[in-house]
A and B are shown apart, each in its own frame.
Chain A
């Protein structure tokens, strides 16, 4: 009886110390909140925030180097969630409420070719003195073309609601 108790106690103590030691030696230095923030981001690595992929942006946000509003595809909803998670105040005034895509006002486009040169995803097609057009499927809504357009004919609009992307709203809570 005494031997058994002693053996188990010693075993427990020894393993406990071993675990404690291993924890110190093999400790992985990683902020768990970075992982959480990364999982909240769209994961598309679009690079609009200016960081290499969503993991870089998550790290920067946690370190306070980036605003929570720096993710355009996530939109206002994501910025709010991130602000809540990180306990900061988000200035949402400059943000659209949902992901935007660029559209070219065809009556104003002069075919100057400036917008498609700056598009990071080649989502604009055009040729010299021909009307340019945006492929909404490839547009990430970064707004670079808006700045590049000398005619002010590019606007950012939320995606139009169609039968394909319409979805049931959340039921009112019971």
Chain B
């Protein structure tokens, strides 16, 4: 009740979650082809360590993380042959290509042998983080930030509370809900490993109160641990955003431009915690994930466990196919997901859902001018003024938009959802953020080229000086030689003269 008062903005969209929760999670088989993008995490692409034609086994390392960069490694989801390392269409609204490893499964699903491990709870914190790194685990809520880096930085900072994010506030999506219902033990076990890795005092799992079954399952799993609490939080989008979740659970606001650790919190998704459990107890790197398949165009909406790299088109077929041509296919949730132009893209680590939406489910209204009603201002969970940010973005005044807090915008879409004029506010913010980052890149390049051209100028000057010095030295040498020669000649002449004089004197005398 009191928590509700602390929450700013947000919207309550129609949930549409019940379609996909009526049957248990189904494990899908092995698709005919797997495409694994080298970058399905935030940061730099992983470095491939396999060659075309190589046989790989399930769980074998395909690409490794690159040293100190933000990066995550990649493993073979099943056994088979690497048939290509090259470009494929990326699961991205641009439909541009991305580097990927293609595997043709052999259907045997042979695993790499694992060496037995002592109880993971006895491992040193740093070792837990290393193993999470080796398993290629990233934030599975959608941000896909490498989990090991969060654990390592968490161990350096003072983390009081590990928050398990089980809010799943996006409409349609139920994969975290089903995971909590069916695998709560694993989530709690993974969370306790993360707690050990960062040295947190307590674990709080925040679950929206529209998931009573999940809350009950998690409470049962956490019953044996005093430092684990399950907290029901109000159902309000975007509760799953780390900043909003921290505010709801701890009553503290993360400062603008700051991180969760600034208020002593570390937020991990429940699915990430489960992946940590799988990696350390079951020796299985991140090779599959739960995906919600839903939307009006889906024959049988459900949650499925799929191998990473599975083509979306194959996944849709396995779920009974499409009942009609979808107006839009979205990877992720309807509020913040990525629009897919084609279904011939792979499932990646961050894909929480595949939604095939029919025309009535999406807004196709023409935008009309802003009437300055302020609905977006009251809906903004970050306390920003979306109408002003959009006005500046529209006028190409991106610095003006930045002054109104564009950098703090989490692109949740609450403002666009409530806008009575149907202004594509988030699209404006995406556009403005893109322009600002392009400008930053251009500026950095400018600085680089400026320093390079200065260095070149200095080098050319140095070279010219050197040349001049050498020339002068040579000239001086030549002059000295000439003088010496002249002197020798003069001496010789003088001597000859003297001798001649002497001779004449002698002959005269």
Contact = CB atoms under 8 A, between A and B. Distances in A.
Interface of A: 42-47, 73, 120-123, 137-138, 140, 161-163, 165-174
Given A47-B453, A122-B455, A165-B441, A173 B448 contact: no
B92 interface: yes
A167 to B, nearest CB: 3
| Range, interface on chain B | 35 or more
B318 interface: no
Contacts of B446: 42-46, 73
A169 B93 CA distance: 11
Contacts of A45: 446, 450
Pairs of residues from A and B, 10 with the lowest C-beta to C-beta distance, nearest first: A44-B446, A167-B434, A174-B367, A168-B430, A121-B452, A171-B427, A121-B449, A166-B94, A168-B431, A171-B424
B452 A138 contact: yes
Contacts of B428: 171
A174 B455 CA distance: 49
Given A43-B443, A168-B427, A137 B448 contact: yes
Contacts of B47: none
B453 A46 contact: yes
A46 B451 CA distance: 10
B52 to A, nearest CB: 23
B268 to A, nearest CB: 26
B23 interface: no
Interface in B395-438: 421, 423-424, 427-428, 430-431, 434-435, 437-438
B467 interface: no
A162 B449 contact: no
Of B39, B93, B430, B448, chain A has the most CB atoms within 10 Å of the CB of: B448
A105 B98 CA distance: 24
Contact of A46 (B367, B435, B450): B450
Nearest to A43: B446
Interface in B351-384: 367-370
Contact of A167 (B369, B438, B449, B452): B438
B230 interface: no
B456 A171 contact: no
Contacts of B368: 174
B443 A163 contact: no
Given A163-B98, A165-B438, A137 B445 contact: yes
Contact of B452 (A43, A122, A172): A122
Nearest to A160: B96
A168 B437 CA distance: 12
A169 B424 CA distance: 12
25 contacts: A43-B446, A44-B449, A45-B450, A46-B449, A47-B453, A121-B449, A121-B452, A122-B455, A122-B456, A123-B449, A138-B452, A140-B449, A162-B96, A163-B39, A163-B90, A163-B96, A163-B98, A167-B430, A167-B431, A167-B434, A168-B427, A168-B430, A168-B434, A169-B431, A174-B369
B175 to A, nearest CB: 25
A138 B428 CA distance: 31
B127 to A, nearest CB: 34
B394 interface: yes
Contacts of B431: 167-171
A44 B427 contact: no
Contacts of B369: 174
Interface of B: 39, 90, 92-94, 96, 98, 367-370, 394, 421, 423-424, 427-428, 430-431, 434-435, 437-438, 441-443, 445-450, 452-453, 455-456
A103 to B, nearest CB: 17
Contacts of A169: 431
Contacts of B438: 165, 167
A162 B441 CA distance: 14
A77 B309 CA distance: 40
A75 B421 CA distance: 36
Contacts of B452: 121-123, 138
Contacts of B448: 137-138
Given A44-B442, A163-B94, 12 more contacts: A43-B446, A44-B443, A46-B449, A122-B452, A163-B92, A167-B438, A168-B427, A171-B367, A172-B367, A174-B367, A174-B368, A174-B369
A122 B449 CA distance: 9
Nearest to A44: B446
A84 to B, nearest CB: 13
Contacts of A163: 39, 90, 92, 94, 96, 98
Contacts of A167: 430-431, 434-435, 437-438
A102 to B, nearest CB: 13
A168 B428 CA distance: 9
Contacts of B93: 168
Nearest to A161: B96
B1 to A, nearest CB: 40
A44 B454 CA distance: 12
Of A44, A161, A168, chain B has the most CB atoms within 10 Å of the CB of: A168
A173 B423 CA distance: 9
A166 B450 contact: no
A51 to B, nearest CB: 14
B46 to A, nearest CB: 15
B449 A42 contact: no
Contact of A174 (B39, B421, B450): B421
A170 B432 CA distance: 8
A42 B438 CA distance: 12
A166 B456 CA distance: 32
A174 B447 CA distance: 38
A168 B411 CA distance: 13
A44 B448 CA distance: 9
Given A161-B96, A167-B435, A174 B423 contact: yes
A33 B386 CA distance: 32
Contacts of B94: 161, 163, 166
A121 B424 CA distance: 42
Nearest to A53: B450
Contact of A120 (B424, B437, B447, B453): B453
Nearest to B98: A163
A19 B213 CA distance: 76
